[in-house]
Amino acid sequence: MTTTDAAAAADAHTAAADAHTPAASPVPAPLDGAKLKADFPLLTREINGQPIVYLDSAATSQKPHSVIAAMSDYYDRYNANVHRSAYFIAEQATTQTELARQKVRRFIGAAHTEEIIFTKNATEALNLVVNSWGRTNLANGDAVLLSLLEHHSNIVPWHILSAERNLELRWIPVGDDFQLDLSNLDELLEGVKVVAISAMSNVLGTLPPVSAIAEAAHERGAVVVCDACQFVPNRVCDVASLGADFVAFSGHKMCGPTGIGVLWGRRELLEEMPPFLGGGEMILDVSTEGFLPNTLPWKFEAGTPPIAEMVGLGAAVDYLSGVGMEAIAAYEEDLVAYAQKTLKDKFGDDIAIHGPADGPRGGSISFAYRDIHPHDVSQILDQYGVCVRAGHHCAKPLMKHLGAQATARASLYLYNTREDIDCLAEALSKASEIF
Amino acid sequence: MSGLEDLYREIILDHYRSPRNRGDLPCPPAHKGEGFNPLCGDDVVLYLLADGGVIADVKIGGNGCSISQASASMMSCAIMGKTFAEARAINEAFKNILSIPDVDSNGQDVGAGETGANQEVSLGDLQALQGVMKFPVRIKCATLGWNVLTDSLDELDSC
């Protein structure tokens, strides 16, 4: 079926990539972004008469044909509600969505399938943790430790609860090297009930040492919430070794559709937590007096779930697994190093990259180019088919720390190539001609 | 490239590189208004010194992209020394060339009045900003300062 097709297609591409050794590259990459590009229908488009160069995957990734086909297949052949009826297509829909849950479990190394909660997106997953776990376990004046790298999704829910509970929000600072400054971690962790940290910055590409922070937090009895929105699509994610108690991510940044996200949580914590949203599917029984919540994971999945999106996410996991997450991570490390070198070599001091200069880092390259406003940079790049994000990237506390109102951000994924980076550099040089 | 010349006209780039009436005014007696574009972080601060229904002085603060800042600079030149009614008419005429109704933050039409009331208004250099029309995302940049003007005049009128 479609999922098998997806895996087969991805396998075929990996095999093709293995067979093809790029002559120009000094270090042969086991993955060929140019070949993978062909799996993504949108990447064959032209913008302003030029092939699209999509460099905004940190905002949302493009979708391979196999994901789009799997979702179409659901609507074409077995569109029915799940967990409700005994007829054939309803059972098929239920089977396929629960199969997607198992695929996600394997993909992130979770011990139990019922630890995989489907949500609307990572934002909803984090709000679920704050509203259910936080509301139950945090008392007036309790301390929460966040990092300055956080996306608004991992800040604002805590602010909202804080307005009610007068929480003390503490912040792990970011150093001049764009890494978390952990020199005062012991002090910061003193009396903290929960630590909420990103596993990969969507602005800087920084990879915080989540497992080390989690270990220190656990020694003090704190619970660790990890925003893995950028991490899961781009790195091998094993929740056991990551060490957090909750991990949130979105489907649409990992080749899947919008409208689906995942919360993974330790079963013993999830079992103790009250429901977040109430409605259908999340109950065992309802009477005029009250209700009995459903078992995990459905306790946290009120209402008809995003069925096509669950199926699509399953297909996305198949696709990424077929290519291989280790290969994807290695390919992106190589590509981001090439991008940093290319931009520095070409523009020197005219470009300032906000992010770790070397060593392992994610594929988000935020930069300031001369004194041209990021909004203008992205507008000019668009004329050359190059798509980059301009703005505060939903991380205003970090932007304030950087002293930047906005940055331009090019972010890479498995389908990007060195040629894409060359196009970015060429288009940037055109911006100088206007300003 | 097609379209970019329409967006980045020389007069616009000139106002961006050399913004007019840049700075601030003591408040009071001046009125201070501020507007943000939450999408890109641009902000425009507008200081108006009113003297008997006339805009006696204007200063512009804030930071942002070329379009938001150039548009605010050009606005400051256009409304300097004008009566509130004249400034509203210019505001409406300007937004008309970008096809946006002049509404306040509640969506109420607060334009100069009957349709066609501003047909006599000469926009001069401001006409250069019409190229923004080809780039719908940037219309918010071009109108940022003008929306602050609408709110500021409303507040001054209600004093």
Is the dihedral angle over the CA atoms A209, A211, A214, A219 positive or is it negative?
Answer: negative
Cβ pair A48:B65 closer than 8 A: no
Residues A239-279: tens digit of each pLDDT: 999 999 999 999 999 999 999 999 999 999 999 999 999 99
Domain of residue B147 covers 4-157
A9 lies in some domain: no
Q: Domain end: A322, A351, A374, which one?
A: A322
Cβ pair B2:A399 closer than 8 A: no
A21 lies in some domain: no
Query: Predicted confidence band at B135 (pLDDT cuts at 50, 70, 90)?
Result: confident
Can you give the three-state secondary structure of chain B, one letter per residue? CCCHHHHCCHHHHHHHHCCCCECCCCCCCCEEEEEECCCCCCEEEEEEEEECCEEEEEEEEEECCHHHHHHHHHHHHHHCCCEHHHHHHHHHHHHHHCCCCCECCCCCECCCCCCCCCCCCCCHHHHHHHHHHHCHHHHHHHHHHHHHHHHHHHHHHCC
Using CB atoms, which residue from A373, A384, A396 is nearest to B65?
A373
Interface check for B9 against chain A (CB to CB < 8 A): the answer is no
Phi, psi of A219 (to 5 degrees): -60, -25
Cβ pair B4:A390 closer than 8 A: no
Residues A291 and A410 in one domain: no
Ordered DSSP codes for A300-368: G--SS--HHHHHHHHHHHHHHHHH-HHHHHHHHHHHHHHHHHHHHHHHGGGEEEES-SSSS--SEEEEE
At A57 the pLDDT is 98
Residues A298 and A347 in one domain: no
Best probe of the B interface among A405, A423, A430, A432, by most B CBs < 10 A, is: A405
Number of domains making up chain A? 2
- Indicate which CATH number applies to the domain containing B41: 3.90.1010.10
Query: Is residue A377's pLDDT more than 70?
Result: yes
Collect all residues of chain A within an 8 Å Cβ-Cβ radius of residue B43.
405
Residues A170 and A303 in one domain: yes
Query: Is residue B101's pLDDT more than 70?
Result: no
Residues A190 and A229 in one domain: yes
A25 lies in some domain: no
DSSP A41: G
Residues A398 and A364 in one domain: yes
Selection from A267, A435, A320 nearest residue A10 by Cα: A320
A240 lies in some domain: yes
Nearest-angstrom CA–CA distance, A321 and A324: 5
Residues A296 and A339 in one domain: no
Selection from A357, A376, A391, A392 nearest residue A428 by Cα: A376
Nearest-angstrom CA–CA distance, A294 and A286: 11
Query: Is residue A5's pLDDT more than 70?
Result: no
Using CB atoms, which residue from B63, B138, B141 is nearest to A405?
B63
Query: Predicted confidence band at A4 (pLDDT cuts at 50, 70, 90)?
Result: very low
Residues A318 and A328 in one domain: no
Q: Domain end: A322, A355, A382, which one?
A: A322
Q: Are A201 and A230 in contact, with CB atoms under 8 Å apart?
A: yes
Q: Domain end: A299, A322, A345, which one?
A: A322
Neighbours of A136 (CB within 10 A): 10
At B128 the pLDDT is 83
Query: Is residue A13's pLDDT more than 80?
Result: no
Alpha-helical (H) ranges within A220-306 are 231-234, 239-242, 267-272
Residues A144 and A267 in one domain: yes
Question: For A229-239, what is the mean pLDDT?
Answer: 98
Residues A282-316: tens digit of each pLDDT: 999 999 999 999 999 999 999 999 999 999 999 99
Q: Comparing A431 with A135, which gets the higher pLDDT?
A: A135
Best probe of the A interface among B65, B66, B71, B132, by most A CBs < 10 A, is: B65
Strand duo A116-119 + A261-265: pairing: antiparallel
Query: Is residue A281's pLDDT more than 70?
Result: yes
Judging by beta carbons within 10 Å of its beta carbon (0-12, 13-18, 19+), is residue B158 exposed, middle or buried? exposed
Question: For A210-233, what is the mean pLDDT?
Answer: 98
Domain of residue A105 covers 69-322
- Taking the alpha carbons at both ends of chain B, their separation in whole angstroms is 49
Q: Comparing B111 with B77, which gets the higher pLDDT?
A: B77
Collect all residues of chain A within an 8 Å Cβ-Cβ radius of residue B1.
48, 383-384, 430
Collect all residues of chain A within an 8 Å Cβ-Cβ radius of residue B71.
none
Neighbours of A135 (CB within 10 A): 15
Residues A126 and A275 in one domain: yes
Report yes or no for ipTM above 0.90: no
A376 lies in some domain: yes
What mean pLDDT value characterizes chain A?
92
A245 lies in some domain: yes
Nearest-angstrom CA–CA distance, A309 and A258: 7
Cβ pair A375:B67 closer than 8 A: yes
At A7 the pLDDT is 40
Number of domains making up chain B? 1
- Indicate which CATH number applies to the domain containing A92: 3.40.640.10
Query: Predicted confidence band at A419 (pLDDT cuts at 50, 70, 90)?
Result: very high
Give catalytic residues of A, as residue numbers. 394
Nearest-angstrom CA–CA distance, A82 and A102: 16
Helix B139-157, helix B66-79: angle, nearest 10? 40
To the nearest whole percent, how much of chain A has pLDDT over 90? 87
Collect all residues of chain A within an 8 Å Cβ-Cβ radius of residue B3.
383
